[in-house]
């Protein structure tokens, strides 16, 4: 009988993200507010506006960078958010808490539509489990056949495309309700809602 090898993964869960607010102002004699208008989904520079909510399969244009020399505009399209099985990860050293998570496979189409070279950069999207819990991708120390989360390939320059598969864990048998692109400036995330 062959010896079983143990593989490792890195799992991290972001802390609570709670947004609340209220004003202490008193009612005034000012005119009542007008009906809300729909915010534009595209900014003047062609990027998708922060806070835009998309359907699975819709594309978002975002600035993607890791360093000054690796920056470009990309078109991101979440094409599926599928539920996997924790049993598929039996070869990995999971702790008891992680074993009680639900596993999701997120497929993303990426196209470089800018002038920068994004070779070797990971596509970093997050899973929204609840209004105050967002989870990052799972990083594997080796390949994982059902959903191999790898960085963008070498030579990922203008007009190049790639399909990326990202694994996410929703703790305590939670469910990923949306996948989010979260900009470095803490702007409101762009979200793809799970069907």
pLDDT digits (tens, 9 = 90+) for 53-99: 999 999 999 999 876 678 999 999 999 999 999 888 888 888 888 88
Q: What φ, ψ does residue 89 adopt, rounded to 5°?
A: -105, 20
> What's the predicted TM-score (pTM) here?
0.79
pLDDT at 6 over 90: no
The domain that contains 171 carries what CATH number? 2.60.40.1240
Whether residue 150 is contained in a domain is answered as yes
160 class by beta-carbon count within 10 Å (0-12 exposed, 13-18 middle, 19+ buried): middle
Whether residue 36 is contained in a domain is answered as no
164 class by beta-carbon count within 10 Å (0-12 exposed, 13-18 middle, 19+ buried): buried
Number of domains comprising the chain: 1
Whether residue 53 is contained in a domain is answered as yes
d(CA 81, CA 87): 18
User: Can you read off the two tokens belonging to residue 103?
Assistant: 């596993």
Range of the domain at 142: 46-193
Element at 99 (helix H, strand E): helix 96-99
């Amino acid at each position: 009988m062959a010896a079983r090898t143990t593989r490792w993964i890195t799992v991290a869960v972001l802390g609570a993200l709670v947004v609340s607010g209220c004003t202490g102002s008193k009612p005034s004699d000012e005119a009542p507010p007008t009906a809300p208008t729909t915010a534009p989904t595209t900014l003047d520079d062609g990027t998708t506006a922060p806070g835009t909510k998309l359907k699975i399969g819709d594309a978002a244009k975002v600035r993607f960078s890791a360093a000054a020399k690796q920056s470009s505009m990309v078109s991101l399209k979440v094409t599926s958010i599928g539920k996997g099985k924790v049993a598929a990860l039996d070869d990995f050293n999971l702790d008891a808490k992680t074993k009680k998570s639900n596993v999701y496979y997120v497929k993303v189409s990426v196209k470089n539509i800018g002038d920068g070279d994004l070779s070797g950069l990971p596509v970093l999207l997050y899973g929204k489990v609840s209004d105050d819990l967002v989870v990052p991708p799972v990083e594997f120390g080796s390949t994982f056949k059902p959903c191999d989360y790898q960085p963008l390939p070498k030579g990922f320059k203008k007009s190049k495309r790639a399909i990326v598969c990202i694994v996410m864990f929703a703790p305590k048998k939670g469910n990923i309700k949306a996948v989010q692109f979260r900009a470095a400036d803490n702007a409101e995330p762009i979200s793809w809602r799970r069907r």
